[in-house]
Amino acid sequence: MATFTERMPPVLLLWLAVCLTGIWAVDKGNFKTCDQSAFCKRQRALKPGESPYRALLETLELTNTRLTLQLINDNNKVRLLLELYRLQGNITRVKINELKPLKPRYEVPDVLIREPPTEPLSFLSQDENGVVLSLGSESQRVIVSAQPFRLDIMEGRDVLMSLNSRGLLAFEHLRMRKDTFSYKVTSTVASVWNNIKRVFSSQADPEAEKKEEADPASQAETAKEEEEKVEDGMWEETFKSHTDSKPNGPSAVSLDFSLPGVEHVYGIPEHADTLRLKTTDNGDPYRLYNLDVFQYELYNPMALYGAIPVMLAHNSQRTTGIFWLNAAETWVDISSNTAGKTVFGKMLDYVQGSSETPQTDVRWISESGIIDVFIMLGPTPKDVFSQYASLTGTQSFPPLASLGYHQCRWNYNDQEDVQMVDAGFDEHDIPYDFIWLDIEHTDGKRYFTWDPHKFATPKEMLKGLMDKKRKMVAIVDPHIKVDGNYKIHNEIRSRGFYIKNKDGGDYEGWCWPGSAGYPDFTRADMRAWWASMFAYDQYEGSMENLYTWNDMNEPSVFNGPEVTMHKDAVHGAWEHRDLHNIYGFYVQMATAEGQIQRSGGTERPFVLTRAAFAGSQRYGAVWTGDNAAEWDHLKISIPMCLSLGLVGISFCGADVGGFFKSPSSELLVRWYQTGAYQPFFRAHAHLDTPRREPWLFGPENTALIREAVRQRYTLLPYWYQQFYLAYRTGQPVMRPLWVDYPQEPATFALDDEFLIGRDLLVHPVTEEGARGVTAYLPGKEEVWFDVHTFQKHNGAQNLYIPVTMSSIPVFQRGGSIIPRKLRVRRSSSCMEHDPYTLYVALNPQRTAEGELYIDDGHTFNYEKKEFIHRRLSFASNILSSVNIAPDAQFTTRSWIERIIILGTSKPSKVMLKTVDGQESQVEFEFDASMSMLTLRKPGMNAGADWTVTLQ
C-alpha cells in the first residue's frame, strides 16, 4: 500500500512541509481579504446615507412581549419582518428576517441557554414619521423612524445606540437563479398574474398596490431587474483552485450601529491584535471565520481559530454591548470620527469649543442567516457581563487541578518518555498537574486509540500518574480516518453521521490521518453517540484521570478552501456556510458531555478547544493556537486573552514558550512568568523544536521557572475562587483595568497589564533585555502593595519598577484579603488539606474584604450546596471570617496557618476568638519599616467562624 505522503497531492505535501519546518510564517495569500470575499466586497461597496428600507407603520403590531413591523426595500419591493423585544436585565433584541422567504433561513440554535425572558413594551407616542416605545420607563425608550428606517435607543436626552443611522442595512433575499427553468416559469406566471391583477383589481381596491408588494409572486417579478445585474460571486465563487457552488445564491445580511460618545470598542475575538479595536477604514474589516492559521501574523484583522461575535463599547459614563448571533462568515467594519486625531488635535478641539461628539460606527456583515442582535445596555461593565451571561451562560467551573501547570509537546514519544518527564518534575521540585499527548500517541492518527508499540499499556501509565495525584490530557480531533478497519469510522458511516458534500456523498478532506471524514456535530444524535465513546468500556485504555483536547475543530481541512471545509458541504437542511463558526463549539460540547457521562454525571470535565463561538465558555478552556517563540507573540497573549475574557471565555491561555521556533532562555523564563498569571497555564512546543522541559536551560533558569510555577500554586485558592465567581456571575477572571476602573480614561487602552479578579494587578515583563517596566496603578484613592516586597504605592500613577530576571511585577489592591497556600507540593491535589495564609492589604481607611471558597475540587457536588464560602473582612482593627452560604454544608481539614496584615500599626496584643467562644492570644511579629504585621499559627479551621482583634 502507498504511504500517506505518496498518496498525498503535491499541494498537501507543500502544506505539511511548511508546518513541519516551523520556519515560515503564515502565507496570507491562502486566506481571503474582503475584496476576495464576494459578499463582503458587495456589501462594503454600498454607500452610507442611501438606505432603500422604509418601515411600513401600518403593519406595526405590539403585544405584551414584542413589537413586529414590516420593512420594505423600495428598490425591489421585498419585505422584511422586524421583531423587537425588551428582555429582562436591560437587553433589547432586534431580529430581521425575510417576511416570506423562498425557504427558511438559518437561525443559530443551542447557543442561548434558554429563550430569553421578556418584559413588557409600551407605546409612548406615534405619528406618520415613526413610533416611540418605552423600555420599562420613560427615561429609556426606542424610537423607530419610518423613512428611511432607523432605530434609536435613548436614555433621557442621550442616544445610547442607533441602528441603520448610516443606512447600511442590507438583506439579500433568497431568490431563484434567473437562468434556471424554474425561475423562468415563476417569473412568467408572476408577470401574467400581476397584469391580470392590475386590470381587474387596482381600480376596485386602492390598497391593491400595497398588497401586491407583499405577494411572493410580485416579489419574484419586481426583483427581476435586480437579478439581471448579476455580479461576480453571487451564484458561484472561486478562490484559488476551489469553487463554491452557492446553490442558494446571494444571501448576505448587514446592519450598522452608531455609538455616540464612544471612542473605545473591544471584543470580537479571535484576532492577534491590540485590546482596543482599531478603525478599519483604510484596510480590511475584522474577520470572524474560524480558520487553522499557521503561525499567525500579529496586529492585523485576519481571522483566527475562534469567532465570538460580541463587541463592548465603553466610555467613562457607560458600557454597552452588541451580540450579533450569526454563525456564518462575518466581517466587522469600525470607523470613528476621532480616528487619526492626535492628543494635541483633541485638545485643540476642546479649546476651540468643537461641538463634535466622539462617535464610533460599527457595521456587521454576515454571509447568510438572519439578523439577530442583542443590545446589552449596561450601564456598567459588570452589568454587560451579567447580561451576556444571561444569554449564553457563564464560564464552566473547572476542576481545581486544571488551574495548575500543564506540560505538553507534540509529541512525547512513548510511555517511557512520559515517565521520564514526570520524574524530571519531581527531581527538580517543580509542581505540575497534567501531562499532555498530541496526535502521535494514537494508532495511526485514529482517535480514541493508542499506538500499540509506544503506548502499549496506557492504563499502567495513567495509574502511575494517578498514584502521584497527577493527570493526563490526550488529543481527540474531529477528523476521522477513512479506514474500514477503524471502529469509529465504521460506526459514523453506518449511522450516516458524516457531513455530506454538495452531491450527497460523505464529505472527505485531508487532515493528519490522510483522507478523513468529518462528523456532523450539529446533529444532537451524533453528539450523543460521540459522548458515549468516552465511556471507559468504549475508549479502551482510558481512566478517570484522562481528559481531552479538541484541536483542528475549525474544522481544519488541509486541501479545503482556506484550509477549511467547503461552504457548500451539507449538514442536513443547511449548508456549512450557514453554521461554520459554530462547528467547534459543538465538538467541545459533545466531548465535555462525554466526560460527564463516563463518571455517571459526578465529575467535572476538562476539555481544551481551539475553535470557539459564543457560548463556548460553558464547555471548558480555549488557547490562542499556533503562536511562535518570539517576544511579540508573548506580548500579544495578553490582549488576546483579555479580549476572550470580555466576551465570556475566561479560561484562556497561550502556549508558554511559543509553539513554533525555539525560545531563548530569557524569553522562555519571561513566558513562564507571564503564563503563571494567566488563567490557562500550559507549555507546548512543535514536533520540530528542541526539547524544552523547564530544567533543560541550566540551573539558574530552572530556578527562575520553578519560582514562577510555585507562585502559581500558592495562588490556586485565589484562582479557584475567581473561577467560582466567574461561574456564578459571568465576570471575567483575567480582565482589563477599565472593568474595575471604568471612569479612568488612562486605563481604557492598556493591554500590557491586567487584573486577576479585582484585587491582583499584574504587569509581566515582555521586553527583551528589560531593566524596568512602567505600570499604571489605578484608583485615585487606592493604594497597591507589591506582593514580593510589600512596599506600598499610591494609585492613579505610572510607577517605574526596576526589574531583574527574577522579577514578576504583581500588586495587591489595598482593601483586599487574598488567601494563599504556601506549602507547594508536586500537584494541586497533594495540597488539598494544607493550611492557608491570609494576606490582608489595608486601604487608607484601614479596611479590607475578601472571600474564601472551598469544595472538593472536582465533582458537581457544589451544585448540591456542598462547599464553604466565607467572607473575610477587616474593620476597626477586627479581622473576621463569616459564613455567607449558611445553607451549604462542607468540612475541610485545612486551617489558617498565618495572617499577614499590610499597612497597619503595631498592636499591644492580638486576641483570637473562635466559634465556641474561647479566646486566646496570638503570637505576632511587626516590621515597622514595612508596616507589616505577621500573626503566626492562629490555628483556626478554615471553615469556622472566628475573629482576630488587634488591641
Active-site residue list: 551, 626
| Residue 787 per-residue DSSP state | T
* Number of other CB atoms surrounding residue 754 within 10 Å: 26
Tell me if residue 899 falls in helix, strand or coil: strand
Q: What are phi and psi of 563, to 5 degrees?
A: 60, 35
CA 170 – CA 161 distance, rounded (Å): 19
Contact 778, 741 (CB under 8 A): yes
d(C-alpha 414, C-alpha 422), whole Å? 12
Measured CA distances, 47 to 170, 329, 758, 938 (Å): 11, 22, 44, 71
The helix or strand, by DSSP H or E, that contains position 225, with its residue range, turns out to be helix 224-227
Residue 468 CA, distance from chain mean position: 33
* Closest by Cα among 894, 855, 607, 829 to 723: 855
Q: Residue 423: helix, strand or coil by DSSP?
A: helix
- Are 799 and 775 in contact, with CB atoms under 8 Å apart? yes
Which amino acid, one-letter code, is at 303?
A
What is d(CA 173, CA 79) in angstroms, rounded to the nearest whole number? Answer: 9
Is the distance from CB of 782 to CB of 815 less than 8 angstroms? yes
Contact by Cβ (8 Å): 309, 364:
yes
Neighbours of 492 (CB within 10 A): 22
Q: Report the C-alpha gap between 507 and 152 in whole angstroms.
A: 45
Contact 848, 840 (CB under 8 A): yes
Task: Judge whether 304 and 620 are in contact, CB under 8 Å.
Answer: no
Residue 166 C-alpha from the chain's centroid = 29
Q: Which three cell numbers stand for residue 864?
A: 448540591
Where do runs of H (alpha helix) occur along 428-512?
458-467, 487-494
Concatenating the DSSP letter of every residue in 752-777 gives: S-EEETTTEEE----STT-SEEEEEE
Alpha carbons 450 and 472: distance in angstroms, whole number? 14
How far apart (Å, rounded) are the C-alpha atoms in residues 448 and 441? 10
